Chains A and B, each alone.
Chain A
Amino acid sequence: DAGVTQSPTHLIKTRGQHVTLRCSPISGHKSVSWYQQVLGQGPQFIFQYYEKEERGRGNFPDRFSARQFPNYSSELNVNALLLGDSALYLCASSLAGVGYGYTFGSGTRLTVV
């Protein structure tokens, strides 16, 4: 089993640009969640999707959006990047809801300059 895979692993963008991060869940997992981890802090919830529907949204601006595809993979999009968006973005997959536990990917390190 490949586990949760995220791409790219590292990314450098300029302020104002747009970025797309990708996540492939564990085979059979239908739920994908996104978290932002700023240096020195714990991960913060951004979105959760299940069966292509948004099931939860954290306290992030509308510049952040996501979607889930029929194969359960997911994309996180961030528009009009700010310096403060620099962080490790983590994807977690689960069979369904919270009772099934979450498995995290290694993350995408985004640096905004």
Chain B
Amino acid sequence: AQRVTQPEKLLSVFKGAPVELKCNYSYSGSPELFWYVQYSRQRLQLLLRHISRESIKGFTADLNKGETSFHLKKPFAQEEDSAMYYCALSGNTGFQKLVFGTGTRLLVSP
């Protein structure tokens, strides 16, 4: 079964603190992993994907196949990072649906 688990509904940190949003997945095969972000009153948008291995807005995520995890990290949180974050997976070929987790709300306080 394809499943994405985000154990934290809410993560509250102070500005400048490190952030780690947890994501674990279940998938038989080689999935593609994504992080999507939704800022207040904005549409869902792609933050990063594991195959790109890039850093967006200071966020990084490493795919750990042994632990089936794809945690999102940022060393120093900013207030503008406050948003809803969704981890998602799909198959890696053809036409594949995205399977989303339930999301984690990140709140960065001054």
Contact = CB atoms under 8 A, between A and B. Distances in A.
Contacts of A42: 4, 86, 88, 100-103
Interface footprint category on B: 20 to 34
Interface residues of A, number: 27
Contacts of B90: 98
Interface stretch (B11-19, B57-65, B74-82, B91-99): B91-99
Contacts, number: 61
Contacts of B49: 101
Interface string A84-97: 00000010100011
16 contacts: A33-B97, A41-B102, A42-B4, A42-B88, A42-B101, A43-B44, A45-B98, A90-B44, A97-B96, A98-B90, A98-B92, A98-B95, A102-B46, A103-B46, A104-B44, A105-B43
